[in-house]
Structure 1
Amino acid sequence: MPNSPEPVRKDPETETPRRVVARRQGPLLMEGPVEVELEDGSVVRSDRFRVALCTCARSRRFPWCDTSHRTREQPRDRDTGREA
């Protein structure tokens, strides 16, 4: 199992924070580059300027989003039959 990279310590007063955009029906959009540590301890990296991280666990490219969340059916209200 590969070792996790050591976190780089930076001064929080001078460092510009990364922006993460959260959408209720989609992935987390992050400014890149990013490194993601997976459950097994392995680390994957993307050097893209914007990265979409899967939050539905349906992606075949997990942790990267492949838009599989778009095919999932929305839960319906039992009484009205409309989307909840």
Structure 2
Amino acid sequence: MTEPDEQPAQRWDDQWADQPAAGADEPVSITAYPNGPLLVRGTFEILTPSGEVIPPRRKTVALCRCGVSTLKPFCDGSHKAIGFKTEQEPPAPQPPLSA
């Protein structure tokens, strides 16, 4: 159960609504859900291409990966309607880019 000051993931359906958000002193975590969105937890900022902050209404948000959401950058569940599929195996780690 979430604490009173925590709210569920920002999306149309409540699939992850019962998962607690990270606290302000915790690092941001990003979880890629198979065939679904990226779930971002913690204290973070989302910026538009021009650098404007898109204020998240919650500490846990679902970001679109399928490209069809009408709420971009947030997920609206459209991935289900289009049958969006992710890779079964994660890609091999890449070496860090040198500066």
- The reply on whether 1:19 has 2:29 as its aligned counterpart is yes
Alignment CA distance shift 1:24-1:54 (3 Å): same
Residue of structure 2 in register with 1:60 after alignment: 70
For the residue of structure 2 that corresponds to 1:34, the secondary structure is coil
Identity of aligned residues (%): 36
Alignment CA distance shift 1:35-1:74 (3 Å): closer
Q: Name the one with the larger strand percent.
A: 1
CA-based RMSD of the aligned residues comes to 2.2
**How many residues align structurally?**
61
- The reply on whether 1:51 has 2:61 as its aligned counterpart is yes
Gaps of 5+ in 1: 1-14, 76-84
- The reply on whether 1:70 has 2:66 as its aligned counterpart is no
Superimposed CA distance per residue, residues 13-62 of structure 1 (whole angstroms, 9 cap, x where no aligned partner): xx642111112311100114432123344331204121001111111010
Larger radius of gyration: 1
Gaps of 5+ in 2: 1-24, 86-99
For the residue of structure 2 that corresponds to 1:71, the secondary structure is helix
Alignment CA distance shift 1:26-1:73 (3 Å): closer
Residue of structure 2 in register with 1:36 after alignment: 46
TM-score by length of 2: 0.51
Alignment CA distance shift 1:52-1:40 (3 Å): same
1:74 Cα deviation after fit: 5.7
